[in-house]
Structure 1
Amino acid sequence: MLSERAHHRSLLTGREREIFQLLVRDYSTKDISIQLKISEKTVRNHISNTIQKLGVSGRSQAILELLRLGELSLD
């Protein structure tokens, strides 16, 4: 029998998760773009998409909601 966690489908794409993990480590949009080798616009688009998915009004609220939902950790 599969664990409950195995049945849980993540709200975030892999790239969104990478970006938010870097945001909680205090990386700037520019730092994230350099780290992931993508444009700053792409980073902002991923952040914006996540904010819309969560129905929150900004990055900070998105981070708090993702932590609450267990989608993000401070590890």
Structure 2
Amino acid sequence: MNKGQSILTKREQEIFDLLVHNMTTGEIAEELKISEKTVRNHISNVILKLNVKGRSQAIIELLRLGVIKL
């Protein structure tokens, strides 16, 4: 595992891998069998970790770091 990947928990990684493929919060919740609120909490945690302003910026930063791929 490269250094970038250790930024995210396994669940955060799963969520952002799905987000980057244009899935909605509801679709991700259904896919992972968790609540939409839990999905939003994970997204918020990543936004805080990365010190960015929103999910779009989080995705851009994670792509830049090589943590997620298109």
Query: TM-score normalised to the size of structure 2?
Result: 0.93
Provide the C-alpha distance between the structure 2 equivalents of 1:61 and 1:73, rounded to a whole number of angstroms: 14
CA root-mean-square deviation: 1.4
Q: Which is bigger in relative contact order (C-alpha 8 A, separation at least 6)?
A: 2
- 3-state secondary structure, aligned to 1:38: coil
Identical aligned pairs, as a percentage? 64
Could you tell me which runs of 5 or more consecutive residues in structure 2 were left unpaired when the two chains were aligned.
none
1:44 paired with 2:40, answer yes
Runs of 4+ aligned structure 1 residues displaced above 3 Å come to none
1:24 paired with 2:20, answer yes
Instruction: Quote how far apart the aligned CAs of 1:58 are.
Output: 0.3
From 46, 52, 58, the equivalent of 2:54 is 58
User: Who is 2:7 aligned against?
Assistant: 11
Aligned residue pairs: how many?
69
User: Who is 2:64 aligned against?
Assistant: 68
Could you tell me which runs of 5 or more consecutive residues in structure 1 were left unpaired when the two chains were aligned.
none
